[in-house]
Structure 1
Amino acid sequence: MNTPLHGLKVLDMSRILAGPWAGQLLADLGADVVKVERPGAGDDTRHWGPPYLKDRNGEDTEDAAYFMAANRGKRSIALDITQPDDQKIIHQLAQKADVILENYKVGGLKKYGLDYDALKSANPRLVYCSITGFGQTGPYSQRAGYDFMIQGMGGLMSITGEPDGMPGAGPQKVGVAVTDLFTGLYATIAIQSALLERERSGQGQYIDLALFDVQAAVLANQATNYLVGGITPKRMGNAHPNIVPYQAFATADGHMILAVGNDGQFKKFCQAAGKPELADDPRYATNPARIAHREHICAEVAALLAANTTQAWLDLLEPLGVPCGPINSVDQVFSDPQILHRGMRVELEHPVTGTVTLPGNPIHFGRSDLNLRQAPPKLAEHQSEVITDWLNGD
């Protein structure tokens, strides 16, 4: 296959989500990713169910759907890092690897001789990426870190949820583990950058990634609203701190998103809604003015949208280029014709179930291919195969 990372070898010693997400993306891009798991138990997420993957008879297997989310395209081997014989095998694999991914606690692998310093002497071209909650240094470095607590500590929950005084008010986490996912994406970027730099220097290097750092970074405009503007962001429900109207509104039969991004779009909306005078009102004519009068203009827009159905508004506004959309459930997302057209629902062969349906990869290259052929592996499915390929091959 004409995959961008064909020929690269990745030893994925990570668990749960952030590291495995990076490993899955590298596998999608064509790397040979070998997942090292605990004998008998495997990755913790194999047991994070229900739901579990079902076999051909409709019975639950030992693998949870959660595990399926982050381990596509990998080969699995089972090694006990506390055992000298298995440590020796990992050392041998590391000598062949281009990349190692791990997310053990700080110093967790050093006592087994599997840290970067112990492995780089035999393989100076090794790119070694460590993912932890708080990084390898600093006053919190010894703390364990999980996505949920990092969303709280990293400020995300302070800006997510209904504002104080509203029904249902209080901090909320995001519905998926976004800090883990963002960290996996940053890890993938860092690894590929280190591999590119290796082409110039001939040397690998160590990468230190922390969930806490990543969460602070991806506060994005909310962070700069504070750092540049001195404004501490608050929870605003579905509203946007810098653009109005840009939120969810009730319609006659449900809810929809209206995401007006500029004054021209606002004018088009007002004309379509039969209230062109709103766009000429000095209180609403510009985005700064609408922010200053947020409560009043949102009340006007809410009254207009409540008078018709979601689909009627979509049919009216989409041809005018006014950004809007429905609020889909997950089942609606994966039956959406655009999602299906873009290949975001894939069927992969699986030795136990026959096939498994998974989300696709959103990257579309002009020339290169993605490797979306191999389902997440059974525990130790490729033990002898990997040993043969990596240690007895070229």
Structure 2
Amino acid sequence: MSAFAGVRIVDFTQGTPGPMAAMLLGDFEAEVIKVEPPQGDRMASHPGYLTWNRNKQLLTLDLATAAGLARARELIALADVALFDHAPGKLEALGLDARTLTEAHPSLIHAWMPPYGTTGSWSRLPSHHSLLTALSGVAFRQGSYSDQPIHLILPLCHYGQGVMGAAAIGAALHERHRSGKGQAVTVSGLHGVSEVTGPVRVLSEPPLPRGAPLGASPSYRLYECGDGQWFFLATLFVAFYHRAIQALGLADHWETFAADPLLAREALKAVFKTRPRADWLALLQSHGVPCAPVGEREPWFAGEAIAAGEARVVLEHPQLGPVAMPNVPARLSVTPGSVRHLAKPLNGHAWTPRPAPEPTGANDGPAPLAGIKVLDLGTVIAGAHAGGVLANLGADVIKIEPIEGDPFRSNGGGFMGYNRGKRGLGIDLKQPAAREMFFDLVREADVILDNYRFGVRERLGIHYAALKAVNPRIISCSINAYGDKGPRAHLPGFDPLLQAEGGMMAAQGGDGEPILHTIPVNDVATAAIVAFSIIAALNARQTTGEGQEVVTSLMAQSLTFQLGEVTTYEGRPANDVGDRDCLGVRALHRYYNCADGWIAIVCETPEQAEALGGTLRVAVPETALTAPRDGHLARALELAFASRPREDLLAELLAGDVPCAPVLRGYEAFESDWLWENDFFEVWRHPRLGDMLGVRAYADFGRGAAGFHRPTPDLGQHSGDLLEEMGYSHAHIAELLAAGAIFGPAANLAHLRDGGTALFTQ
């Protein structure tokens, strides 16, 4: 039995996000019936369709007919989850909206994943990732050489929406187990953008500069070697950077490099150009320096590292032959997921009626994960952001840090965004007294989350076996770079290393230089998958009564956010590739500069192409839909767009049913009425730093409030409150403080002083 065994899902979605959400639930044995229109899924010809719809049964229904709609309602009446991705207003017209269906079926989870937002004119556009990134400001976030938007080759926000859809549905199912009630769940394209691009802005400070295509820091950057091959130097922490400088024989320049990053960058560029890449990788790796070659995704997916990590499965397709696709992205020790079959037709009757779920206990709060306590040992981005996602869904997340703090800790928007909503506890787990206190926390916790390097948990004595001995119901989730199997398991790793080896950088750069994604792709993918996997384990615990270990890696997620791109079979069509400062993939699917701002267009039919040409007075050939992004047609369109004001042109194109949208710069996104109308942003206050602007939520729920309910904690900020909650006496607390086993800001521990003796560490 797996985590969602017996859960019935009717999936009415198409494309990527909705089918991917249902896929993840189906991987853990949810019974998924995918309902498709007579013409089929709009992305049925995409290789990713085979992966996004694995483990499902297919049923064709025409919802425009009374018979088709009646059959759909019959299925929904027997289901636990009904999943839709229609634009606002479409479900109401069909009588399949959340209010109608949840009133008729009180235990139903009505999950809606609209492509953009839930309201406003832009939310009614047809689903296209490039339009979503244009409207949300993401296209102007990616590092570039010129002052222009960048078309992302990978649909990162669609993948983020897909994983968050699965996590939110899982959270609602978990809550239903307690209350017996279903509810509406909404995970829009903007929720996907929120999870993928989470950092906040300190309103009293200027926004950070735009990223650089090769990396802004000399210690965390792409470098070209003497043979024209590229690699990424990922010395994020000072110790790794110092180790690299020593390995290169440049130790005498350490202080100069530290004081002048520009000088360091130019010096390293010159050094690496003197020898082939293989030489530099061998030298640096022999000194324990994190680095990786830039490669293509196809050999990466077919290679030894993925095989050793058991991250690749092969299924037989009756026409296409063997189809290789990524395995389930996380491993649950007691209730594992599996890839069982490709999508297949539904045979016979689907389901029989069964009793509505009975509540097992009072709801602990309005949010779906209310009452769940998470001990968050995660650091930097992947681990920390995973805890932040769980906090956003209502869990009580305690960020546990040593005296030196999370190495990513700062007052910057990244740290503040990834750690918002938590409470802070300072503890030195290397001390026996601190470990005993930690185990006291474990006894009352539901989840422990870490992203330690492989083997660190064992050295600290907090590995799963030790935790399970204290609390058999504990769910322990551990993230590392390359998984826990194979020769790479012990290596340190960072997001760009998997961007490099996993083919993401080469795909974005195309025939030119590789490109570092400014969005930390594999980190945010890992955070979302970890949140989903923990929620799956929580659902499993409601059935089995026991906890389990969850394991995943950045390497596994180097496939998750390019599921469709790595799905492989003989003769599959080629993936799109980018280029230097990529504006799009074709002349009619790219960004153009108008007289007063940028615009995004996506034409997929001859009628749309003709309407575009007529509006711009440009002759559009019959081959326009396949015309290259930088050919004659693109040049003619560039000239036509450049002379027209953006707002007037948008109005004319939309009137002609041409899918288009403004490409917003950062400041334009912050001021966008549409984004504020959709509750994308919120202003919140940090008690020390003042007002912050950040994303609001990663999902919304009809019966409970998602979102952050606490600001980002300072180091050890809530140590005093947490110690008192645990029932520790003041004398015991004083002993722990005196020994340095625990710590926190003096002001927050002052009420625990024993006899007036100052025993507190700032």
TM-score, normalised by the number of residues in structure 2: 0.45
Alignment of 1:19 onto 2:383: yes
Q: Which residue of 1 aligns with 2:713?
A: 377
Q: Which residue of 1 aligns with 2:248?
A: none
Alignment of 1:46 onto 2:444: no
Alignment of 1:340 onto 2:676: yes
Q: Which of 504, 511, 532 pairs up with 1:156?
A: 504
Q: Which residue of 2 aligns with 1:322?
A: 658
Q: Which of 694, 697, 720 pairs up with 1:358?
A: 694
Q: Which residue of 2 aligns with 1:55?
A: none
Q: Is the 8 A contact 1:226 1:232 kept in 2?
A: no
Alignment of 1:283 onto 2:647: no
Alignment of 1:36 onto 2:376: no
1:36 aligned counterpart, secondary structure: strand
Q: Which residue of 2 aligns with 1:147?
A: 495
Moved more, 9-18 or 292-301: 292-301
Report the CA distance between 1:293 and its aligned residue.
Answer: 9.6
Whole-Å separation in 2 of the counterparts to 1:388 and 1:267: 70
Paired residues for 1:230-269 under 5 Å: 231=574, 234-236=577-579, 238=582, 245-269=588-612
Q: Is the 8 A contact 2:464 2:549 kept in 1?
A: yes
CA RMSD of aligned residues (A): 2.5
Whole-Å separation in 1 of the counterparts to 2:576 and 2:538: 38
Q: Which residue of 2 aligns with 1:301?
A: 637
2:550 aligned counterpart, secondary structure: strand
Whole-Å separation in 2 of the counterparts to 1:34 and 1:116: 19
Q: Is the 8 A contact 1:22 1:187 kept in 2?
A: yes
Q: Is the 8 A contact 1:179 1:211 kept in 2?
A: yes
Moved more, 331-340 or 71-80: 331-340
Q: Which residue of 2 aligns with 1:389?
A: 725
Identity level (%): 28
Q: Which of 202, 206, 230 pairs up with 2:545?
A: 202
1:368 aligned counterpart, secondary structure: coil
Whole-Å separation in 2 of the counterparts to 1:345 and 1:268: 35
Q: Which digits, 9 at most, give the CA deviation of each residue in 1:307-346, with x for residues without a partner?
A: 3233332232234442222332222211211222222322
Whole-Å separation in 2 of the counterparts to 1:179 and 1:313: 37
Whole-Å separation in 2 of the counterparts to 1:122 and 1:228: 53
1:121 aligned counterpart, secondary structure: helix
Q: Which of 562, 566, 577 pairs up with 1:223?
A: 566
5+ residue gaps in structure 1?
48-62
Q: Is the 8 A contact 2:628 2:634 kept in 1?
A: no
Moved more, 139-148 or 232-241: 232-241
Whole-Å separation in 1 of the counterparts to 2:663 and 2:631: 23
Q: In 2 relative to 1, CA 143–263 (structure 1 residues): closer, same or farther, beyond 3 Å?
A: farther
Q: Which digits, 9 at most, give the CA deviation of each residue in 1:52-110, with x for residues without a partner?
A: xxxxxxxxxxx333320111110000111211111111111112111111000001111
Supply the AA of the counterpart residue of 2:567: T
Q: Is the 8 A contact 1:20 1:71 kept in 2?
A: yes
Q: Is the 8 A contact 2:393 2:707 kept in 1?
A: yes
Whole-Å separation in 2 of the counterparts to 1:318 and 1:174: 31
Whole-Å separation in 2 of the counterparts to 1:361 and 1:92: 32
Report the CA distance between 1:367 and its aligned residue.
Answer: 2.3
Alignment of 1:274 onto 2:621: no
Aligned residues: 363
2:456 aligned counterpart, secondary structure: coil
Supply the AA of the counterpart residue of 1:28: N
Q: In 2 relative to 1, CA 103–176 (structure 1 residues): closer, same or farther, beyond 3 Å?
A: same
Whole-Å separation in 2 of the counterparts to 1:293 and 1:17: 35
Supply the AA of the counterpart residue of 2:369: L
Q: In 2 relative to 1, CA 371–298 (structure 1 residues): closer, same or farther, beyond 3 Å?
A: closer
Indicate the structure (1 or 2) with the bigger Cα radius of gyration.
2
Whole-Å separation in 2 of the counterparts to 1:175 and 1:298: 27
Alignment of 1:89 onto 2:437: yes
Whole-Å separation in 2 of the counterparts to 1:313 and 1:381: 52
Whole-Å separation in 2 of the counterparts to 1:250 and 1:342: 26
Supply the AA of the counterpart residue of 1:83: Q
Supply the AA of the counterpart residue of 1:215: S
